[in-house]
């Protein structure tokens, strides 16, 4: 693995490509911050709509571009949260506790700067931890065969279904629906045509890109159009005022940033929890550790630092289960899986073995992205502060045409636009009825791999599946036995975190 | 009386459960007719049938549907579709109609014209009255998106009338060779 790590440097700093890699990543960061700063426009929507761009460029550019959107979007949400108490993303809700009071005191600039520095610090530290963890986990994962892979995928899908939805069985049903959608087209073992119901357009399966844009981006647009409003906000003073953050003030927040970084990193590795809970946990921990907890909620810099370091620290570690085992931890990483698969890179143990250098190049690029993150954030704060004044009545149709263009370029077939609208409508109704589409998207993406590994296991078992698994594959047997226990523990932990989140908020 | 109690207890989760259970049952029975027969049984020995995995999924649907049906009487969730007011429903329906029209216009009149019309109509419907700004955005943004997808990412969008203005062989500067899908490693 260490050779792959060194190989990653060689790939990243290839003189022919290094410039373009950083240009694409800077573009992703800028777009992420831009969308993150728009209330009602989520990072998820930005990643889904811009996903097609990453499909048609080299993975060394396309995946850092998406990671840039991911990182930038999580930070961008803090800008309107601080200035107008309107979080651009869910991850920035905890920032509204202390950000707006600081703005009222005339310290908006300090608040925005501590948010930026905390976000970059949390992101950078968690990226380094991610790289340190990925090698050993991937080395262990390499010893897995089809039975172990099938068992791990099964466990992951069940755990994510349990933790992503408020009601366990609804998450499982959405997973089953995703597995069914994934079965349409051809079976992964014998390439037999199935469940196309006589429709030529789905003989090769449901197209991935229109489906992902449909379920993740269109529902956000539908929710955005429920109310007619020309602007996101009617009028507000959006000037970034006050003195700059001093080094002494930043130094006083370092302990909080470190604590929140560890909280965010730990939460990032747990599937289905995410940035929102991390921000609240970081905030609550900072408040309880503070000598002056009464100042929290009244304009305390540490409050902003705690929330922002924690939510950005989630970004890197979500890639650990994704890259080593092929398990996306949340809806944002599902989109990253889509990008990997589009490039013929299926996340999982084999990816680290076959394309370890490329994966490490992407991870190292993430570390350097933090430097650009700091620079772009610092220079563009006044611009992003004004983003909320953009006309919503113009931005919504623009988002929509980008979604349509992205769906069209996948195969240049009008049918794909129908798929986009179908899944958009489905995602909107599902959200209104409290069905989470994340397990469905995961079932759709991971279903064929699960079926293939399961089929290989059945063939290897030579007609005696239980005997083969429980006698010859003890690791597989252990995973299967532990699946209900682990699922229950993860479900209970997530429910407790959500309860604490509800209490704090 | 019984009917009233039943209607109080049957909720959207119960209905969803019945739909899922039905899908599971239908899927289980139609699986053989919806899967092609293998000409040569490569990979399919006596122990592995092509129907195995689909039927496992169908059984999961059925079982989970029953589970949700039982659980639905205990789950307390609001049906947010019912909470949508007239304005929200109208806006969503109008947007869906606009989207259907957009698909038609985009395919037959090209991406740029279709998108320009979509931006103008939709922004006006949602309250924009600055028509000069809308006009500039409606022309500029579709052209930029068209150039991005067709000349930088080398994909295709319905071209008319831009292909009359920009030659189809024209692509943006030389480093393009590194940002198409060619291997660089």
3-state secondary structure string, A18-33? Answer: HHHHHHHHHHHHHHHH
| Chain A nearest-CA residue for B155 | A409
What pLDDT is attached to residue B185?
Answer: 37
Q: Give the separation between CA A326 and CA A271, rounded to whole angstroms.
A: 12
Alpha helix (H) residue ranges in A230-314: 247-252, 254-268, 275-289, 301-313
Alpha helix (H) residue ranges in A225-253: 247-252
Chain B: closest CA distance from residue A62 (Å)? 9
What pLDDT is attached to residue B167?
Answer: 58
**What are the φ and ψ backbone dihedral angles of B160, each rounded to 5 degrees?**
-55, 140
Chain B: closest CA distance from residue A352 (Å)? 16
| Ramachandran assignment for B14, one of left (phi > 0), alpha (psi -120 to 50 degrees), beta (any other) | alpha
- pLDDT surpassing 80 at residue B162: no
Write down the residue that tokens 């520095």 correspond to. Answer: A117
pTM confidence score: 0.84
What pLDDT is attached to residue A462?
Answer: 81
Q: Give the separation between CA A352 and CA A356, rounded to whole angstroms.
A: 4
Residues of chain B above pLDDT 90, percent: 42
Q: From the candidates B149, B152, B172, which should be mutated to test the interface with A, based on the most A CB atoms within 10 A?
A: B149
Q: How confident is the model at residue B184 (pLDDT cuts 50, 70, 90)?
A: very low
What pLDDT is attached to residue A192?
Answer: 84
Write down the residue that tokens 């899922």 correspond to. Answer: B20
Instruction: Give yes or no for B174 touching A (CB within 8 A).
Output: no
What pLDDT is attached to residue B171?
Answer: 54
Q: Give the separation between CA A433 and CA A173, rounded to whole angstroms.
A: 13
- Give the Å distances, CA to CA, from A480 to A147, A345, A409: 10, 27, 41
Instruction: Give yes or no for B74 touching A (CB within 8 A).
Output: no
Strand-strand pairing, A193-194 and A185-186: antiparallel
CB distance B17 to B77 below 8 Å: no
> For chain A (length 505 residues), average pLDDT per consecutive 10?
82 86 92 84 85 86 90 86 77 84 86 92 90 82 83 85 80 94 88 86 88 90 81 62 84 92 86 77 87 85 91 86 79 85 79 83 90 89 79 87 88 89 94 90 88 88 84 89 85 72 60
**Number of neighbouring beta carbons within 10 Å of residue B176:** 15
Alpha helix (H) residue ranges in A56-167: 59-76, 78-84, 99-104, 108-141, 146-164
Chain A: closest CA distance from residue B106 (Å)? 9
What pLDDT is attached to residue A261?
Answer: 93
Residues of chain B above pLDDT 70, percent: 77
Express each pLDDT in A210-261 by its tens digit.
998 999 889 988 988 887 766 666 555 667 777 788 899 999 999 999 999 9
Write down the residue that tokens 């911050």 correspond to. Answer: A33
Q: Give the separation between CA A423 and CA A405, rounded to whole angstroms.
A: 16
**Number of neighbouring beta carbons within 10 Å of residue A287:** 22
What pLDDT is attached to residue B174?
Answer: 44
Mean pLDDT score of chain A, rounded to an integer?
85
| Chain B nearest-CA residue for A227 | B88
SS3 A281: helix
């Amino acid at each position: 693995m260490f050779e792959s790590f060194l190989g990653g440097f060689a790939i990243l700093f290839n003189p022919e490509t290094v410039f373009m890699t950083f240009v694409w990543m800077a573009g992703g960061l800028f777009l992420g911050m831009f969308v993150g700063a728009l209330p009602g426009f989520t990072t998820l929507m930005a990643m889904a709509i811009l996903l097609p761009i990453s499909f048609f460029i080299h993975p060394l550019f396309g995946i850092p571009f998406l990671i840039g959107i991911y990182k930038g979007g999580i930070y961008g949400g803090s800008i309107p949260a601080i200035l107008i108490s309107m979080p651009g993303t869910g991850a920035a809700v905890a920032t509204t506790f202390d950000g707006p009071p600081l703005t009222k005191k005339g310290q908006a600039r300090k608040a925005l700067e501590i948010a930026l520095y905390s976000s970059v610090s949390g992101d950078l530290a968690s990226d380094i931890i991610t790289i340190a963890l990925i090698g050993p986990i991937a080395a262990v994962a390499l010893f897995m065969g089809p039975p172990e892979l099938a068992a791990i995928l099964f466990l992951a899908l069940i755990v994510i279904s349990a933790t992503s939805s408020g009601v366990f069985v609804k998450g499982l049903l959405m997973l089953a629906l995703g597995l069914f959608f994934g079965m349409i087209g051809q079976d992964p073992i014998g390439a037999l045509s199935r469940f196309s119901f006589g429709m030529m357009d789905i003989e090769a399966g449901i197209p991935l890109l229109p489906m992902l844009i449909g379920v993740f981006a269109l529902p956000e647009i539908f929710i955005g159009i429920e109310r007619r409003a020309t602007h996101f906000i009617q009028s507000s003073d959006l000037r970034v005022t006050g003195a700059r953050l001093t080094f002494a003030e930043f130094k006083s927040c370092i302990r909080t940033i470190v604590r929140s970084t560890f909280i965010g990193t730990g939460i990032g590795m747990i599937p289905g929890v995410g940035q929102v809970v991390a921000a609240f946990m970081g905030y609550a921990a900072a408040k309880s550790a503070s000598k002056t907890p009464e100042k929290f909620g009244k304009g305390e810099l540490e409050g902003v630092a705690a929330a922002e370091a924690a939510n950005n620290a989630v970004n890197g570690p979500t890639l650990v289960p994704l890259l080593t085992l092929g398990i996306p931890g949340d809806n944002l990483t599902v989109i990253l899986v889509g990008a990997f698969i589009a490039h013929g890179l299926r996340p999982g143990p084999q990816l680290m073995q076959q394309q370890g250098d490329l994966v490490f190049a992407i991870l190292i690029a993430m570390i350097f992205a933090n430097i650009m993150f700091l620079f772009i954030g610092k220079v563009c704060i006044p611009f992003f502060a004004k983003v909320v004044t953009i006309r919503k009545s113009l931005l919504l149709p623009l988002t929509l045409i980008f979604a349509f263009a992205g769906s069209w370029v996948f195969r240049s077939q009008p049918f794909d636009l129908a798929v986009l609208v179908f899944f958009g409508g489905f995602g909107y109704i599902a959200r209104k009825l409290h069905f989470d589409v994340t397990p469905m998207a995961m079932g759709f993406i991971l279903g064929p791999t699960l079926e293939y590994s399961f089929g290989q296991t059945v063939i290897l078992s030579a007609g005696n599946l239980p005997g083969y698994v429980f006698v010859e594959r003890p690791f597989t047997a252990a995973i299967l036995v532990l699946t209900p226990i682990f699922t229950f523990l993860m479900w209970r932990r997530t429910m407790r975190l959500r309860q604490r989140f509800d209490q704090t908020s | 009386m019984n009917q009233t109690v039943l209607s109080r207890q049957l909720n959207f989760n119960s209905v969803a459960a019945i739909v899922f259970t039905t899908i599971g049952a239908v899927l289980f029975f139609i699986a053989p007719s919806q899967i092609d027969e293998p000409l040569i049984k490569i990979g399919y020995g006596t122990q592995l049938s092509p129907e195995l995995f689909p039927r496992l999924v169908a059984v999961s649907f059925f079982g989970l549907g029953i589970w949700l049906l039982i659980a639905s009487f205990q789950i307390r969730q609001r049906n947010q579709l019912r909470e949508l007011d007239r304005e929200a429903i109208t806006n969503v329906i109008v947007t869906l109609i606009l989207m259907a029209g957009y698909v038609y216009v985009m395919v037959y009149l090209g991406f740029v014209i279709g998108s320009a019309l979509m931006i103008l109509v939709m922004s006006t419907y949602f309250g924009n009255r600055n028509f000069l700004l809308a006009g500039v955005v409606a022309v500029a943004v579709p052209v930029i998106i068209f150039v991005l997808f067709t000349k930088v990412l080398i994909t295709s969008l319905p071209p008319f009338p831009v292909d009359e203005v920009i030659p189809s062989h024209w692509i943006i500067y030389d480093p393009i060779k590194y940002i198409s899908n060619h291997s660089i490693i």
